[in-house]
Structure 1
Amino acid sequence: MSAESTPEPGIPGTPGTNGPSRRGKGRRRKPRAARRKGLMITAWTAAGIVVLGGTGVGYVYFKLNGNLKSVDIDQALGTDRPEKADNGSQNILVLGSDTRSGSNKELGGGADDGTARSDTAMIVHVYEGHRKASVVSVPRDTLIDRPACTDTDGGSHPAASGVMFNSAYSTGGAACAVKTVESLTGIRMDHYLEVDFSGFQELIDELGGVEVTTTQDIEDPDSHLDLTAGTHRLTGEQALGLVRTRHGVGDGSDLGRIQLQQAFLKALLDQVKDIDLFGNPKRLYDLADTATDTVTTDSDLGSVNALLSFANGLKGIGASDMTMITMPVVYDPADPNRVLLEEAKAQQVWTALRNDRPIPKSATKGTATGEAKGVVS
């Protein structure tokens, strides 16, 4: 089955510190120098490459199918979840993990202990008709109340208050991350996609780099990044440095890094759409091989055919069809390296997505930004 003959189906159905939760608004203070780095998610791009690369027959099919890793989120979470939407929309939790083992140790730093953290999280809402989408980035440093959850191995994890959002993944993996997002938003996550440091870098290199324009010099030794203002074609290593940096631009916070990640994702999506991969079969296969070996999915997407169907339902969505925001938060006056949910504005976001409506601009007005918007395009 070639990509051209594929039909257009829809989308198929470090732990934080325990302590009291705090709320309030405050001015941003200078963050501490040593901070763990985030990861830009390219799972959408990976899925799109699978659409182009899946042949559906012979060795290639079985090789790509064998690459895929999946986790049974539904089995772990059971029935105590928000109801599925009946308005034709879909919600996908996309995570970037920084596993500190194997090839990721050099890229992510830290101990080679096999642990992983979700340094980047995006809630992707695909509207009815699958022609537009909204993306809500969830800051990893947000202090939340984490619900009790069961991981995919059957292990139980108690609830915790006033912990960082990314503690959910490091505590109980993908299932606990999904449980936490559903508890936070009241929205059912229909699918789960995850990509890691080394996979991200390999995908960018397989694509031949990504072109971006920076409006100022960006220098961050921690992320091995040194860019002058202007237009650059970033290698995988440079791209990873850009989406990990938090000291090179803005106010040095995770929020500024999120703004860079969102700008890079738009540039990446535009480039993938313009590449004629069918003219280079080897490159096409290499991209598909890397993409399927990079992503971890929920069990419903754990085969090439399912991922093909999923990606075909999204491939009409380009950068201009996406609205990207950061979950409404304010800086924590008690700790300059943490943020707190701005609950009233966040509810505007969740209500809009539940009703398959655009996110109102008022939902992000006056919230913390990170001050890096417009640095990269």
Structure 2
Amino acid sequence: MAQSSVRGEGTRPRAGQAGEADWDEDRYDGQGGPADGDGDGPSAQPRGHGRHGGGGGRRRGGGGRPRRRRRILRWSAMVLAVLILGTAGAGYLYYQHLNANIKKDKLNIGDEKDRAAESKANAAGQTPLNILLIGSDARDTKENQKLGGAKETFGGVPLADVQMLLHVSADRTNMSVVSMPRDTLLQIPKCTDPDNGKVYAATVGRVMTNQSLGRGGPGCTVATWEKLTDIHIDHFMKIDFSGVVSMADAIGGVPVCVDANIYSKDSRGHGSGLKLKKGTTYVKGKQALQWLRTRYGFEDGTDIARAKAQHQYMNAMVRQLRENATLSNPGKLRALAETATNALTVDEDLGTVAKLYDLSKELRKVPTKGITMTTMPFRYVGARVAPTDDATKLFRLVREDIPLDGTSKKKKSTAEKASSDPAAADDKIGVLVQNGTRTTALGPVSGRAGTVRDLLVGKGFAQATADPTTATAEEKTVIRYPSADLEGDAQKVAKSLGIPFGSVKKSTDVSGVTLVVGADWRTGTAYKATAEDDSIPDTAEALNGAKTDACMKVNPGFTWS
């Protein structure tokens, strides 16, 4: 997929550099843009305090300029801290001349009917943010080839080797990051390349999730996540190898820890080449990329261990930049801005510096202690992995905006609101009732679908029918509907049985309103909703952003003395 130009824009203007005739330092210093620090964004109007008139010598006078420079540096450091990307993390300086550097792509290139429902607002009218962070292994430039190795793959189909869903709570008090292992087996939905119209049919059976990027672009990775998790994704950000290195160079290093000397290289030459001594080291540049790519040498040598190392790095980077504005050289800031924006691809609704700046303001509201890094719970399928029931639970917690930091396990930020879709009359609503009462320990309750069907008919739902087969086991009773025009009908069925609206789900796996009687309703005619367990699964291996003593365990086969 071509990613070399900005869709819908003309030729990129060349940005001026320090020392050139058209470079104007004052363009980025106190003229209403992000450099003003205490403004409201790139379009904010200057406030009082002598900037215009009334002793306004501070505009260009000797006393005002250094102060504004400090504001630039503090602002830049905060932005760098809170905008975290795939294989490492990146932040962006929002100078207007960088707009043309930012590559844009479609947010979701799957079928519209497969889209997850948009997140609902809480009682205060606030909505969560879900951003998919994608780290590409693209070797499409000489720089990326040099950093990524594997000469035979130059110009090949890129893989989404790092995928992280960043969820920001509606009230902006916490942030959750869920990593999905690159070799997770799942079904990739139908995707259409927005550049050439090529249609990639849904995969037959399950394939590795990292293949999604090569099926029309990042919008296919987004579509894959939405289909799996039923979480509506608002934006995506994608970065490549060179962006990782430029970020690490600019911030002067990120502290990481290993519990023994490590050299990531085996007898066959496999490994990232990372070589560190036991304890804490500040890694930057290529060494930072090695840390983030290391699989051989950490724990059991799997992609799961690599995700843990990435979480440690990202947390440390956020703490480093929030505590100390380490970027002190304007030249380095400009270099980072150029490299980072050239390495960045975002969705079209996020493709301007003004919108990125607005997003950064939302992200930096979250305190470090409110950041939780997790890995999708999984089970092994041969050498690959697949999501487990714990993964389903983790996705539900994110979808329902329940914090993963342990501070408010029973609090749900999003309200379960009635649909705006008008429901049909009870006797006109078709309902298929399925038996999902089977569990790992108990067989299905015979005739359960028919019992609940009779219950519905008695309540006036004359078109209710029972599926004679046994549905896939469901831990909780659920009502599914295929499209928005049936949401009202599904909620009406739920209300008649006392089933909470939170158990009414949109799903393309059904063709009409479908009630699956779960293991929580094996007997009786009155449904009693069970209390949700909103604790984070242990298998998610959560790491809090405020934890400063995290240290990677080194595989004994990769140590040195």
TM-score (norm 1): 0.80
Structure 1 Cα separation of the partners of residues 114 and 349 of structure 2: 19
Deviation at 1:202, TM superposition (A): 1.3
Name which of 274, 284, 308 aligns with 1:235.
284
Letter of the 2:363 counterpart? L
Residue equivalent to 1:155: 198
Cα 1:228–1:338 shift into 2, 3 Å:
same
Residue equivalent to 1:5: 38
Residue equivalent to 1:112: 154
Name which of 356, 364, 371 aligns with 2:537.
364
User: Which structure is richer in relative contact order (CA contacts within 8 A, separation 6 or more)?
Assistant: 1
Residue equivalent to 1:139: 181
Structure 2 Cα separation of the partners of residues 196 and 278 of structure 1: 22
Structure 2 Cα separation of the partners of residues 310 and 209 of structure 1: 25
Deviation at 1:115, TM superposition (A): 2.4
Residue equivalent to 1:31: none
Deviation at 1:211, TM superposition (A): 2.1
The C-alpha deviation readout for 1:127-168, integer Å capped at 9, x for no partner, is 012231000000111111221122222221111112111111
RMSD: 2.4
Structure 2 Cα separation of the partners of residues 75 and 144 of structure 1: 17
Residue equivalent to 1:217: 261
Structure 2 Cα separation of the partners of residues 315 and 366 of structure 1: 28
Structure 2 Cα separation of the partners of residues 339 and 145 of structure 1: 13
Letter of the 2:332 counterpart? R
The C-alpha deviation readout for 1:184-239, integer Å capped at 9, x for no partner, is 00011100000111110111011112122322222112211111102211121111
Structure 1 stretches lacking a partner, 5+ long: 10-38, 56-60
Structure 2 Cα separation of the partners of residues 278 and 230 of structure 1: 25
Which of 77-86 and 294-303 deviates more? 77-86
Name which of 94, 106, 117 aligns with 1:54.
94
Residue equivalent to 1:323: 372
Equivalent position SS for 1:96: strand
Residue equivalent to 1:33: none
Name which of 70, 81, 86 aligns with 2:115.
81
Which of 278-287 and 158-167 deviates more? 278-287
Assess if the C-alpha contact under 8 Å between 1:120 and 1:140 holds in 2.
Answer: yes
Letter of the 1:41 counterpart? T
Cα 1:274–1:280 shift into 2, 3 Å:
farther
Deviation at 1:117, TM superposition (A): 0.7
Are 2:359 and 1:310 aligned? yes
Name which of 61, 72, 90 aligns with 2:129.
90
Greater C-alpha radius of gyration? 2
Equivalent position SS for 1:248: coil
Cα 1:6–1:69 shift into 2, 3 Å:
farther
Residue equivalent to 1:183: 227
Assess if the C-alpha contact under 8 Å between 1:210 and 1:271 holds in 2.
Answer: yes
Equivalent position SS for 1:350: helix
Deviation at 1:309, TM superposition (A): 0.9
Residue equivalent to 1:69: 103
Structure 2 Cα separation of the partners of residues 175 and 309 of structure 1: 22
Assess if the C-alpha contact under 8 Å between 2:107 and 2:219 holds in 1.
Answer: yes
Letter of the 1:72 counterpart? K
Cα 1:294–1:275 shift into 2, 3 Å:
farther
Assess if the C-alpha contact under 8 Å between 1:93 and 1:121 holds in 2.
Answer: yes
Structure 2 stretches lacking a partner, 5+ long: 1-32, 43-84, 122-126, 266-270, 410-533, 543-549, 554-561
Cα 1:54–1:272 shift into 2, 3 Å:
same
Structure 1 Cα separation of the partners of residues 347 and 328 of structure 2: 32
Equivalent position SS for 1:41: coil
- Work out the number of aligned pairs and report it: 328
> Equivalent residues in 2 for 1:6-45 (5 A)?
6-7=39-40, 40-43=86-89, 45=90
Are 2:385 and 1:339 aligned? yes
Assess if the C-alpha contact under 8 Å between 2:257 and 2:551 holds in 1.
Answer: no
Structure 1 Cα separation of the partners of residues 311 and 540 of structure 2: 17
Letter of the 2:161 counterpart? D
